[in-house]
Structure 1
Amino acid sequence: MNEVRIGMVGYKFMGKAHSHAYRDIPMFFPDAPRPVMKLICGRNEEGVRRAARQFGWEEAVTDWRELVRRDDIDLVDINAPSDAHKEIALAAAEAGKHLFCEKPLALTLADARQMLAAAEAAGVKHMIGFNYRFAPAVRLAKKLIDEGRLGRIYHFRAAFLQDWIIDPDFPLVWRLDKNVAGSGAHGDLGAHLIDMARYLVGEMTEVIGMSETFVKERPLPGSMTGLSATGGTGGAKGPVTVDDATLFMARFACGALGSFEATRFAGGHRCTNSFEVNGSLGSVKFDFERMNELHVYFAGDDADVQGFRRVLATDPAHAYADAWWPPGHTIGYEHTFIHETVELLEALQENRQPVPNFHDGVQCQAVLEAVERSIEQKRWVRPDDL
């Protein structure tokens, strides 16, 4: 497969990120199949046509069913709001299209399992968008853990902190509506933490959590895009039906303990997506706001130089780095999507499932729902029991 013809549903925040990735791949990863940006879809005709021109898509439509039916589409990229994922994915799988879906995979675990089953029954390839796995510094952390250089893992702690809705007058965007988003900070930010934990440390056997919605009502929106919005006229308000913040603890199958915090009410934190892993032989620390750096500690260092060292993961020794700039020249957020999409295209070329895929999406959804159940029932819950 020398090229992959793509139809994409969604054209705002994630639509721009995915489009940018498709456009850059031929320049920096020339051995990967060439993405052909055939068709982009969105409900607003004027908006999606503008996006098609800006992002470089050949055509634009307003009905995703038309996109799925097209014979000249190999891959359906779904980055519409979460409530649309299932219906589009099921139809695309039935039409024999490969699938690339943003996280969380679905609104519920049952829906996520149905999506996975449909993809497997159709024999199509499927990928879920956990882009943070693809930062070179994160790949280094994974390498150190897998090689045993941190020893036995004792702790995984993670936090995804934002503050973009801390103003109580910020409008009631779709991410604050449970019917559309499924959950709030938990499913949006916490899903990334859960996937990172599974990627680095392994499966979680039981969880217990707590959550809070600090602002119960917000002004109805006039317009919204990405993480910004303007209020409508008339001063009408609506209820916030998702969590503003969720915290939980976990036990891992390997014996490690985990702590997780996801909030949109951490003033001063624009996008603090961080984790720390502590083992018997060493530790690593990562913060996406300094995404090119991994802080590494080895207990075996001489006593007079012990402590965390800053490793700049831009040398050719690190994953993906040789495709970019000379050592020390950093990369950014958009590159995680490029690396993610390279994995998808190469998997299609090699006739294998890309990683992460819908199996990872289902496992993440199981942990999300186990945490929610633990909050409702005020007890430890095992994801495997759901």
Structure 2
Amino acid sequence: MTIRTVQIAMNGVTGRMGYRQHLVRSILAIRDAGGLDLPDGSTLMPEPILIGRSETKLRRMAEQHKIEHWTTDLDEVLSSDSVEIYFDSAVTSAREPAVRAAIAAGKHIYCEKPTATTLASALELARLADAAGIKSGVVQDKLFLPGLRKLKRLIDGGFFGRILSVRGEFGYWVFEGDWQPPNRPSWNYRAEDGGGIVLDMFPHWDYVLRGLFGPIRTVQAIQATGIPARVDEAGQPYEATADDAAYGIFQLENGIIAQINSSWTVRVNRDELVEFQVDGTDGSAVAGLRRCRVQHRSATPMPVWDPDMPTPLDFRSQWQEIPDNAVFDNGFKIQWEQFLRHVYAGGEWSHDLLSGARGLQLAELGLQAAAEGRRLDVPELRL
């Protein structure tokens, strides 16, 4: 058996998402499982190189996980011929220059979203990667979650008949930081630092809707800043200049209407932090991160509106749970494996930097639609 070691420069792994999902549960999980098998019979063994700003954190992390290489010098890593892939999960405002430098160095690119702070920058990154002949990938993890994979199974099986609408609810309460510590970084609430829930979440909704139902063709939105003043991680008050809630209506190419609420100022009264209800002529489903429940047209109750009497129907009990029928691995790890196979074994791949630019396009149009109070067309984006 041939084992090929691939060095992956991983920038931003001292952050929560970069560390837990990308390093520990993806790259190290692949390494600890003996590598990734390729179609030609060889095995790919990822070797991470940790990059960040804190020597103390990097050293501690490297010692804990038996990782040989770490550095605070991004340029040094990019200049190394042994490094083949650059991964970025650092703060959004620092991503574009780092990815641009990695493309110039000839590295394959895999990064978090949004890929930049503006559509123009995101599209330029996609064009630069295409011109350089390198392969790129953008994290689109929600498509690989168990709940949405079950939903995709229902769609592919024709369960819904003709799909009419999609309703999404995402969010939770992010503490202001005064009497309880904040549970998200403070830069998320400063527009000047690339914060804002539209910029954060609309790129997700673009690939989720496109990947499951079809391309978005129009957008309407309202954004809000419900908490105008917060306290940062150091206990210092600051002005929240970015939106912390957004309400979007999207019309898809096939006529499906999607409504998605995104909020960091909402208290959760649902089973999971994100849920999508899909209604079709033959049935409906509610899918979250892990669960998916359905109601077929043959089992749909007939409620009667009577505001003077308690309803005799227990609506939640009338939905059927979709079984797993498979072992669902970590969604981030699954996409990492697909990207690595794409780079080293070829095959179809749609989650590239151009798809990341589409996410920025929707975010910018959403912000414009909210500012102007009108519905905007979403043209198909091309290189």
- Do Structure 1 and Structure 2 share a fold, with TM-score over 0.5? yes
Which of these two proteins has the greater Rg computed from alpha carbons? 2
Say yes or no: does 1:276 pair with 2:277: yes
Aligned 8 A contact 2:11 2:88 in 1 = yes
**Structure 1 residues 71 and 29, CA, compared in 2 at 3 Å: closer, same or farther?**
closer
Provide the residue aligned with 2:331 in structure 1.
336
Say yes or no: does 1:311 pair with 2:322: yes
Provide the residue aligned with 1:215 in structure 2.
227
Say yes or no: does 1:120 pair with 2:124: no
Aligned 8 A contact 2:176 2:230 in 1 = no
Provide the residue aligned with 1:199 in structure 2.
211
Cα distance, 1:365 vs. partner?
1.3
Which letter maps to 1:295?
A: R
**Structure 1 residues 183 and 220, CA, compared in 2 at 3 Å: closer, same or farther?**
closer
**Unpaired segments ≥5 residues, structure 1:** 223-230, 325-330
Provide the residue aligned with 1:345 in structure 2.
340
Provide the residue aligned with 1:23 in structure 2.
28
Aligned 8 A contact 1:156 1:201 in 2 = no
User: For the residues of structure 2 that align with 1:22 and 1:295, how far apart are their CA atoms?
Assistant: 32
Give CA deviations for 1:195-232 in whole Å, capped at 9, x if unaligned: 2112111111111111111222223432xxxxxxxx2x
Which letter maps to 1:108?
A: T
1:26-65 mapped onto 2 (5 Å cutoff): 26=31, 27=33, 30-32=36-38, 33-65=43-75
SS in 2 for 1:116: helix
Provide the residue aligned with 2:297 in structure 1.
299
Aligned 8 A contact 1:163 1:269 in 2 = no
Cα distance, 1:177 vs. partner?
2.0
SS in 1 for 2:322: strand
Deviates more, 1:247-256 or 1:359-368: 359-368
Aligned 8 A contact 2:244 2:264 in 1 = yes
Cα distance, 1:119 vs. partner?
1.1
Give CA deviations for 1:340-383 in whole Å, capped at 9, x if unaligned: 11111121222245342222211111111111001111111112
Aligned 8 A contact 2:214 2:252 in 1 = yes
User: For the residues of structure 1 that align with 2:150 and 2:362, how far apart are their CA atoms?
Assistant: 25
Q: CA RMSD in A?
A: 2.6
Say yes or no: does 1:239 pair with 2:239: yes
Alignment TM-score, normalising by the size of structure 2:
0.84
Which letter maps to 1:4?
A: V
Aligned 8 A contact 2:35 2:46 in 1 = no
**Structure 1 residues 64 and 84, CA, compared in 2 at 3 Å: closer, same or farther?**
same
Give CA deviations for 1:227-253 in whole Å, capped at 9, x if unaligned: xxxx2xxxx432212111011111111
- Size of the aligned set, in residue pairs, is 353
SS in 1 for 2:120: helix
Say yes or no: does 1:66 pair with 2:76: yes
Aligned 8 A contact 1:25 1:34 in 2 = no
Aligned 8 A contact 2:187 2:195 in 1 = no
**Unpaired segments ≥5 residues, structure 2:** 303-316
Aligned 8 A contact 2:286 2:292 in 1 = yes
User: For the residues of structure 2 that align with 1:215 and 1:28, how far apart are their CA atoms?
Assistant: 48
Cα distance, 1:279 vs. partner?
1.6
Cα distance, 1:99 vs. partner?
0.7
SS in 1 for 2:368: helix
User: For the residues of structure 2 that align with 1:35 and 1:177, how far apart are their CA atoms?
Assistant: 39
The correspondence for 2:356, drawn from 340, 361, 364, is 361
The correspondence for 2:187, drawn from 159, 174, 183, is 174
Alignment TM-score, normalising by the size of structure 1:
0.84
Task: Report percent identity of matched pairs.
Answer: 25
**Structure 1 residues 53 and 303, CA, compared in 2 at 3 Å: closer, same or farther?**
same
